Amino acid sequence: MTCCAIRCRGRDNRHEILISEEIIIKTLGNSDLEISPVGLGTWAIGGEGIFGWGPQNDADSIAAIRRAVDSGINWLDTAAIYGMGHSEEVVARALDEIGDSERPLVFTKSSLLWDDEKNVIHCLEADSIRKEVEDSLRRLRVDVIVLSQIHWPPFPPGAPDPDLEEGWTTLAELKEEGKVRAIGVSNFDVTQMERVRPIAPITSLQPPYSMLMRQIENEILPYCLEHDIGVIVYSPMHNGMLTGAMTRERVDALPESDWRKQVNPAFREPHLSRSLEVAELLKDIGNRHGRPAAEVAIAWTLHHPAVTGAIVGARNAGQVDGFAGALAFRLSDSEIAEIDAILPESITRIERS
């Protein structure tokens, strides 16, 4: 673990952020990857389509990536399925505008793909994983994928997963071949990690984690600590619910193409009212420090000793400004206790209507 003082200035010299005296850089699991506490998630910039977040402007997406890098974020997380390849392509366009000395690490994922009719398919067979990695290399316009992850062990969750070992073995082979620098998993439970870990060490796990969804605290996070598996959590603001900007009216106004409205239980009663109450407390704590609620939500996840970093999505540069301070902001133990005292029962990952 190393510390560095970072002062960030945007390319136009008008945007300047003094993040903090110190940003703690951590090593990701058993790898040599040194990552900032916050990474930029690029799910939403994939735009519309299956798992989409509604219409998205590519220029806004590229500006968000540029702002994230200027702010001290040194890694991006994407996936082939985001926008059915579009997110990776936008990331590549953004990287072309960033100098080699500033280029962030790029993590991507495979196992979810699509057919000609845009039906989503889950596959962990060796030939499929190899093709997905080659396709990601082409879309990202890179020679090596820094971190390649299995996106889902089975999909939908709970389905059989007979090819898990085959998919992981293939990623390990691609690492040996030099096409992948490190390999990780996403959405795995302990049993699934135990199945693949004897084949090749797991560099990282990417699970959902927020103060509204805390199931991983019981078994998964202790397991990762024990086995030197880095944890990069996603949805620390619970898909926007904990940003402090979400209201009942804004939820009602979400477009039908926004997956949260139909799938995420925090955006529907009986969970919506309690979720908004938690967000109000985060705004209050944030006000004490002159910070937005989003940074409080992110800092809460980073407080756990097993968590290496948090993935935070943004659709434009302004949204990056709303959480970039989380690179250095930390909550006190008393503030953690204050938050924990009002948390509702942890909700399940997905509830389909």
Per-residue pLDDT tens over the stretch 2-36: 444 333 433 333 233 333 447 889 999 999 999 99
Q: Which residues are catalytic?
A: 82
111 pLDDT higher than 50: yes
Per-residue pLDDT tens over the stretch 173-221: 999 999 999 999 999 999 999 999 999 999 999 999 999 999 999 999 9
C-alpha of 276 from chain center: 22
257 pLDDT higher than 80: no
pLDDT at 254: 82
Structure tokens at 113: 């793909």
Using a pLDDT cut of 70, give the percent of the chain over it: 90
Per-residue pLDDT tens over the stretch 137-173: 999 999 999 999 999 999 998 899 999 999 999 999 9
pLDDT at 49: 66
Per-residue pLDDT tens over the stretch 318-332: 999 999 999 999 999
DSSP 22: E
Using a pLDDT cut of 90, give the percent of the chain over it: 74
**pTM for the whole structure:** 0.89
Long-range contact pairs involving 5-11 (C-beta distance under 8 Å, separation at least 24): 6/72, 6/327, 8/70, 8/71, 8/72, 8/324, 9/70, 10/66, 10/67, 10/70, 11/66, 11/70
pLDDT at 12: 36
103 pLDDT higher than 80: yes
121 phi, psi to nearest 5 deg:
-125, 140
For the CA atoms of 196, 202, 207, 211, the dihedral, rounded to the nearest 10 degrees, stands at 130
Q: Does domain 2-340 have CATH number 3.10.20.310?
A: no
At 263, which helix (H) or strand (E)? helix 259-263
How much is the average pLDDT of 75-102?
A: 94
pLDDT at 22: 76
pLDDT at 127: 98
User: What is the average pLDDT value for the chain, to the nearest integer?
Assistant: 89
pLDDT at 52: 63
How much is the average pLDDT of 80-100?
A: 93
pLDDT at 267: 84
Q: Single out the residue of 349, 345, 352, 209 nearest to residue 275, CA to CA.
A: 345
What does the alpha-carbon distance between residue 246 and residue 239 come to, in Å, rounded to a whole number?
10
How much is the average pLDDT of 51-65?
A: 85
pLDDT confidence of 96, banded at 50, 70, 90? very high
Distances (CA, A) of 136 to 235, 286, 294, 301: 23, 39, 31, 29
Residue that wins the pLDDT comparison between 230 and 45: 230
pLDDT at 7: 34
Residue that wins the pLDDT comparison between 5 and 298: 298
